[in-house]
Amino acid sequence: MIEDELALFDKSINEFWNKFKSTVSDTSCGMVGLRDTYKDSIKACGEKLSVKLKEEERMVEMFLEYQNQICRQNNLIQEKKDNLLRLIAEIKDKKQELEVLTANIQDLKEEYAKKKETISAANKANEERLKRLQKSADLYKDRLGLEIRKIYGDKLQFIFTNIDPKHPENPFMFSLHLNEAKEYEVSDSAPHLECLAEFQENVRKTNNFSAFLANVRKAFTAMVYN
């Protein structure tokens, strides 16, 4: 009985040991396989991660480049904006200068128109006075032996004859013109009359040219008889 039980116990021990070895062997093989699979997975994951990191690095580089380009574009835009504002300010200043210049030109035009009108009126008045002088000359030509000639310098030369009874053809003359103030100015009397300046002042005050001519003739006549 004891031998049988010992044989049975030894058999049971052997079976347990065989099963244990078999189990340990299978587990060891499984662990090795799992370890190899884990290493492969880690390697593949590392490779993917490396690729991903390189892609992300390129993305960062591209982002930084785009950011620099945007910064440069912003600087160019700001520079163009400043130039545009400066140009607008210059145009505004030029516009104001043009407005002032236009106003000045308009003032000059108006002033010129007034002066032109004044000159035209003065010329018309001079023409009227010359017409009156010519009319007076025609009136006194036969009666007083008066001849009027237009000479250099826009002057009129008045020549009297029939003054000296002994020599009726002898001329007695003076010149007359209108000065810048549009006043009568007498000069170049021959023979010289001391009272000519007084006659000139009177005709300026009275504007009676007929009386002026009569007084001049009387003065020449008095000179002959004296």
User: How confident is the model over 112-162, as pLDDT tens digits?
Assistant: 888 888 888 877 877 787 777 677 667 666 666 788 888 888 899 999 999
Using alpha carbons only, give the angle 174, 141, 223 rounded to the nearest 5 degrees. 45
- Give the residue, 207 or 38, on which the prediction is more confident: 207
| Type of residue found at 142 | D
Q: With bands split at pLDDT 50, 70 and 90, how would you rate the model's confidence at 197?
A: very high
CA dihedral of residues 71, 72, 76, 81 (deg, nearest 10): 0
- Give the residue, 218 or 31, on which the prediction is more confident: 218
- What kind of fold does domain 129-225 have according to CATH? Copper Amine Oxidase; Chain A, domain 1 (3.30.457)
pLDDT for the residue 218: 93
Q: Can you give the residue ranges of every domain in the chain?
A: 129-225
User: Mean pLDDT, to the nearest integer, of 58-65?
Assistant: 87
- Give the residue, 82 or 28, on which the prediction is more confident: 82
pLDDT for the residue 25: 63
Token pair listed for 41 = 């997975």
User: What is the percent of the chain with per-residue pLDDT over 70, rounded to a whole number?
Assistant: 87
**How far is residue 212's CA from residue 80's CA, in Å, rounded to a whole number?**
82
Check if the beta carbon of residue 172 is closer than 8 Å to that of residue 159: yes
Q: With bands split at pLDDT 50, 70 and 90, how would you rate the model's confidence at 2?
A: low
